Amino acid sequence: MRMAKRIENLPPYLFVEISKKIAEKRARGEEVISFAIGDPDIPTPAHIIDRLCQAAQDPVNHRYPETDGLPELRQAVADWYQQRFGVVLHPDKEVVPLIGAKDGISHISLCFIDPGDIALVPDPGYPVYSVGTLLMGGKPYYLPLTEDNNYLPDLDSIPEDIAREAKLLWINYPNNPTGAVADLGFFNKVVEFAREYDLAVCHDGPYTEVAFDGYQPVSFMQAEGAREVGIEFHSLSKTYNMTGWRIGMAVGNAKMIDALTRVKSNLDSGIPQAIQLAAIAALRGPQDCIPEHNAIYQRRRDLVVEMLNKIGLETKPSRASLYLWVKVPEGYNSVTFATALLEQVSVVVTPGIGYGKSGEGYVRLSLTIPDAGLVKGLSRLAEWRDSKSGFRAKST
Ligand SMILES: *Cc1c(COP(=O)(O)O)cnc(C)c1O
């Protein structure tokens, strides 16, 4: 058989490789502690599961759902945006439910990218932005996110001709993998930039509800004129620990929402209706699970930052997201450090280079491990550092 070039050139998804390595170790009977994947370890709240079970019993929900979802779900999303962000959305024109945000993120490129087209993509960034572009034969133009610029892209440094030629601009705050946040001032600037260069903006915002120290992230849709230039992807995955149920949404620009819905209506058959009803229960139900979960993550964040800094690994406490962005010690790059950790102490972290060239020099640690595993993993790291083969020993 002869496969398409797009498959030949497609790298395996970052976490597939990591999962394979972990499985190999575990098969050998080793206890692996993984800080690698951002997948909440806390279960979905009971009232959401109860609604799901009840809805699963109802034959009405056993049949094909509509691609654009239940009108009640679109309304629940619109109401949630109004309550949370003060943003008023038209439930039928400015909202589309997704099979997880990743569904929309990967498929929006079908709506914008013809072969040779440019998408502006943050580096480091969630791999799906560039992969979606590449699958369509497009060219990602990478926007470096650096500590000096608080991990925000420097829009003014994009060459004029690139900005003019580009069709899509990807942004993501609270950010994965850096844990950085953006304020409304930045989003306003993005809208201005998009207007000037006729760009469609895709803001990926699944972490707006995962925040610490009383900080409340903003939505891109709060920016003046945002709905004229772009959409926001959101998800119930991280907000309600629903990664396994696969449900998210895109909101904003009606033309973009319509195009995405048209593509999806030809490719998938919607979200299982029982899951849509569970999502309504999540969005309309009690929200106290959110601060409860954030308190758990915040405690873990503080614990990990303290332990890392104590063993000489530099990182700052993230104000939001599930991640810490940690500098690798001298004498290592992100891959050699992650590999050494896995081989020496069976601790898994994600090498920054996996998120793009500018991720080099960093590893990402996720806070989605129960406290006991977290302490155990970091203690192993500390022991290794102090051993003969440890990283301090190498650089001195
Ligand atoms: C987790 C994550 C997503 C995917 O969310 P789903 O709704 O589970 O598909 C999208 N973007 C970023 C940056 C993420 O970290």
Cα separation, 195 vs 256, whole angstroms: 15
- Whether residue 393 is predicted with pLDDT greater than 60 in this model: the reply is no
Please work out whether the CB of residue 101 comes within 6 Å of at least one atom of ligand 1: yes
pLDDT at 396: 39
Instruction: Let me know whether 192 and 50 are in one domain.
Output: yes
Quote the ligand 1 centre to 237 CA distance (angstroms). Answer: 7
CATH number of 63's domain: 3.40.640.10
Least Cα distance to 316 among 142, 110, 178 occurs for 178
Cα separation, 15 vs 21, whole angstroms: 10
- Whether residue 20 is predicted with pLDDT greater than 90 in this model: the reply is no
Mean pLDDT on 324-341: 94
Prior bond of 177 cis (ω within 30°): yes
- Kindly state the tokens that stand for 255: 């033309």
Least Cα distance to 105 among 129, 83, 122, 84 occurs for 129
Ligand 1 mutation target, pool 235, 245, 275, most atoms within 8 A of CB: 235
- Whether residue 5 is predicted with pLDDT greater than 60 in this model: the reply is yes
Ligand 1 atom 5 nearest Cα = 101
Structural domain of 35: 5-43+289-387
pLDDT digits (tens, 9 = 90+) for 170-217: 999 999 999 999 999 999 999 999 999 999 999 999 999 999 999 999
At residue 259 the predicted structure's pLDDT band, cuts being 50, 70 and 90, is very high
Ligand 1 atom 2 nearest Cα = 206
Mean pLDDT on 112-136: 97
Number of Cα atoms under 13 Å in the Cβ half of residue 141: 22
At residue 390 the predicted structure's pLDDT band, cuts being 50, 70 and 90, is confident
Cα separation, 116 vs 119, whole angstroms: 10
Mean pLDDT on 288-297: 98
CATH number of 297's domain: 3.90.1150.10
Please work out whether the CB of residue 102 comes within 6 Å of at least one atom of ligand 1: yes
Mean pLDDT of the chain: 95
Ligand 1 mutation target, pool 14, 123, 126, 318, most atoms within 8 A of CB: 126
Instruction: Let me know whether 156 and 207 are in one domain.
Output: yes
- Whether residue 152 is predicted with pLDDT greater than 90 in this model: the reply is yes
At residue 11 the predicted structure's pLDDT band, cuts being 50, 70 and 90, is confident
Domain count, the chain: 2
Residue 367 lies in a domain: yes
At residue 394 the predicted structure's pLDDT band, cuts being 50, 70 and 90, is very low
- Whether residue 43 is predicted with pLDDT greater than 50 in this model: the reply is yes
- 158: phi then psi, degrees, rounded to nearest 5: -75, 125
Least Cα distance to 130 among 202, 30, 81 occurs for 202
Contacting residues for 142 by C-beta, under 8 A, at least 6 apart:
121, 122, 123, 130, 356, 357, 358
Residue 393 lies in a domain: no
Residue 240 lies in a domain: yes
Instruction: Let me know whether 68 and 107 are in one domain.
Output: yes
Please work out whether the CB of residue 230 comes within 6 Å of at least one atom of ligand 1: no
pLDDT digits (tens, 9 = 90+) for 87-114: 999 999 999 999 999 999 999 999 999 9
How many residues in total does the chain contain? 396
Ligand 1 mutation target, pool 98, 99, 204, most atoms within 8 A of CB: 204
- Say if residues 211 and 295 touch (Cβ distance below 8 Å): no
Instruction: Let me know whether 375 and 358 are in one domain.
Output: yes
Instruction: Let me know whether 210 and 349 are in one domain.
Output: no
Last residue of a domain, one of 284, 300, 327: 284
Cα separation, 230 vs 129, whole angstroms: 15
317 or 340: which leads in pLDDT: 317
- Say if residues 100 and 237 touch (Cβ distance below 8 Å): yes
Please work out whether the CB of residue 239 comes within 6 Å of at least one atom of ligand 1: no
Instruction: Let me know whether 154 and 50 are in one domain.
Output: yes
Order of strands across the sheet that contains 168-172? 95-98, 248-252, 230-235, 200-204, 168-172, 118-123, 139-144
Instruction: Let me know whether 293 and 357 are in one domain.
Output: yes
Cα separation, 368 vs 382, whole angstroms: 20
- 178: phi then psi, degrees, rounded to nearest 5: -85, -15
Instruction: Let me know whether 280 and 295 are in one domain.
Output: no
At residue 16 the predicted structure's pLDDT band, cuts being 50, 70 and 90, is confident
Instruction: Let me know whether 223 and 360 are in one domain.
Output: no
- Say if residues 364 and 308 touch (Cβ distance below 8 Å): no
Instruction: Let me know whether 83 and 186 are in one domain.
Output: yes
pLDDT at 360: 97
Task: State the CB neighbour count (10 A cutoff) for residue 331.
Answer: 13
Residue 354 lies in a domain: yes
pLDDT exceeding 90 applies to what percent of the chain? 88
Predicted TM-score of the model (pTM): 0.95
- Say if residues 256 and 230 touch (Cβ distance below 8 Å): yes
